[in-house]
Amino acid sequence: MDRIISKLLFFAACSSIAILALIALFIFKEGVPIMVKSGLGNFLFSQDWSPLEGRFGILTFMVGSLWITAGSLVLGVPLGVACAVFLAVFVHRRAAMILKPAIELLAGIPSVVYGFLGVMWLAPIIRERFGGPGLSILAASCVLAIMILPTIVSVSIDAIQAVPRSYREGSLALGATEWQTAWRVTLPAARSGILAGVILGMGRAVGETMAVIMISGNATQIPHSIFDSVRTLTANIAIEMGYAVGEHREALFATGVVLFFFIMILNVVALRVSRRKF
């Protein structure tokens, strides 16, 4: 009896891997043939996306994803790490117990609501101040920076709290201030954990879809400035999926394959990095 239960539980435990494998299997099965047909180089590095003529090049969308992800990291990482240091080092435990979940709540707000806010409030401001369409790399980066904040903050706080107390106490005992200790001792010791948080946040930013569709403007072009509108890999899938058929749909799945690959690499790197100890 116990042996049967143990087997059943083992199968349940394998479900996550099984689902991951199924996802890979079905998306690859739909997407890979068209990649082979177009030629991988062509698919990845051509700017020509004309589904009706059967030409599928996703470079424009990759550049779009790259800009928005980079933008959100530039804004979100300093902010996130600063929040983490403040909450882990400078704030009383009681207060941190209220503030940390408040920041984590940012992850609970539906991405469509962020998108809505971007459209109604942020984009008009950018349009008036800097010109351009408003729905732009800058708008999307600002909103994504807030969306990835919870990931960066909670992973970084864990990393900082995992630094042995003796490091901090030793530094303080030598007469260093709290800040000198945080900057020269705690942060360097926690850097691999923080880096893992940043990489996971990056994965969030690359994969985010609905908010990005609403605020990046979705123009199919290589941008020249952060005030230009762009279309990301995820946005292109979601926008065209509604009416795509045949090869066009396969090409969208192929875009999914590229996305899946990229996210898996980020995940593996994050896991590797976070396992490294001081």
Between residue 40 and residue 69, which ones bind another protein under the rule CB under 8 A? Answer: none
**Residues forming a β-bridge with 217:** 230
Write down the least CB distance from residue 224 to another protein, Å. 26
Return the residue of 184, 222, 267, 278 that touches another protein, per CB under 8 A.
Answer: 267
Write down the least CB distance from residue 102 to another protein, Å. 6
Q: Are 196 and 155 in contact (CB under 8 A)?
A: yes
Number of residues that bind another protein (CB under 8 A): 85
Between residue 201 and residue 230, which ones bind another protein under the rule CB under 8 A? Answer: 203-204, 206-210, 213-214
| Closer residue to another protein, CB minimum distance, 12 or 173 | 12
**Residues forming a β-bridge with 50:** 55
Return the residue of 36, 40, 82, 125 that touches another protein, per CB under 8 A.
Answer: 82
Write down the least CB distance from residue 252 to another protein, Å. 8
Name the strand (E) or helix (H) holding 263.
helix 246-275
| Closer residue to another protein, CB minimum distance, 1 or 52 | 1
Distance between CA 97 and CA 27 in Å, rounded? 41
Structure tokens given for 223:
């941008």
Return the residue of 178, 188, 225, 278 that touches another protein, per CB under 8 A.
Answer: 178
Q: Please write down the HEC assignment for all residues of 48-81.
A: CEEHHHCEECCHHHHHHHHHHHHHHHHHHHHHHH
Write down the least CB distance from residue 58 to another protein, Å. 14
Return the residue of 45, 130, 179, 278 that touches another protein, per CB under 8 A.
Answer: 179
Return the residue of 74, 125, 162, 271 that touches another protein, per CB under 8 A.
Answer: 271
Burial profile 221-248: b = 16 or more Cβ within 10 angstroms, e = fewer: eebeebbbbbbbbbbbbbebeeebeebb
Contact call for residue 78 and another protein (CB under 8 A): yes
Between residue 237 and residue 266, which ones bind another protein under the rule CB under 8 A? Answer: 237-238, 241, 252-253, 256, 259-260, 263-264, 266
Per the rule left: phi > 0, alpha: psi between -120 and 50, beta: everything else, 231 is beta
Between residue 102 and residue 131, which ones bind another protein under the rule CB under 8 A? Answer: 102-103, 105-106, 108-117, 119-121
Angle, to 10 degrees, between the axis of helix 233-241 and the axis of helix 246-275?
150
Q: Are 100 and 93 in contact (CB under 8 A)?
A: no
| Closer residue to another protein, CB minimum distance, 225 or 276 | 276
Cβ within 8 Å of residue 264, ≥6 positions away: none
Write down the least CB distance from residue 117 to another protein, Å. 6
The counts of H helices and E strands in the chain are 15, 2
Write down the least CB distance from residue 271 to another protein, Å. 6
